[in-house]
Structure 1
Amino acid sequence: MSGRVRLRWRRPPEHRWGGFVRALVYLGPGSAELQDRPAARLVNGDDVVVEVTGTGVCGTDRKILLGRFPARPGVVLGHESVGVVRDTTPSPTAATYSPPPRPPPST
């Protein structure tokens, strides 16, 4: 198989927070598609809902797309994400979370 990957994209409906989110879904070797998936919601007492603003595609995702790493069709690719906390439960552990300090910039 060549190093080319085919991505399909269907124009999604207008997205609003709390409805659906877009996800890159693996369809099989060399094929993935942007699909609408239900947005996360609070279920357990220590849940936090994060609106993802960016996701990296790592080497494993690339190998999955190229058929060099086993994965089932339907799996959502991209797991190295950044985002904004949009909702938390009343649990103290969820409400008191603070991100780790950032290292100082190098000079």
Structure 2
Amino acid sequence: MPAPRKYPDELRERAVREVRTSGRPVAHVARDLGVHKEALRNWARQAEADAGERDDRPTTAEQDELRQLRKEVAELRRTSEILKAASVFFAQEIDCPRTRPSR
């Protein structure tokens, strides 16, 4: 579960819109809205990437997909380890025939 966001999405959108439309420095807009300037700078960069204006960072959709794929790979690796352990166990069972009790 991701950590709760410090700033609401509405504030993020408003802040990015203000930076993009006003032409004012990020630090000034951040101070006016009461957010950290580096947070606002990152939001603005991410908004540019999402709009296709930047190619130096992945879009939000790409980040979400990458996060999901990494999660899936981790699950598949865990499953693979379990199956390997099970196959070793059953191989040992087959190699060691049990003696039948005499009647």
Higher alpha-carbon Rg: 2
* TM-score, L = length of structure 2: 0.21
Report 1 or 2 for greater relative contact order, CA contacts < 8 Å, sequence distance ≥ 6.
1
Larger proportion of helix: 2
Going by fraction, where is strand more abundant, 1 or 2?
Answer: 1
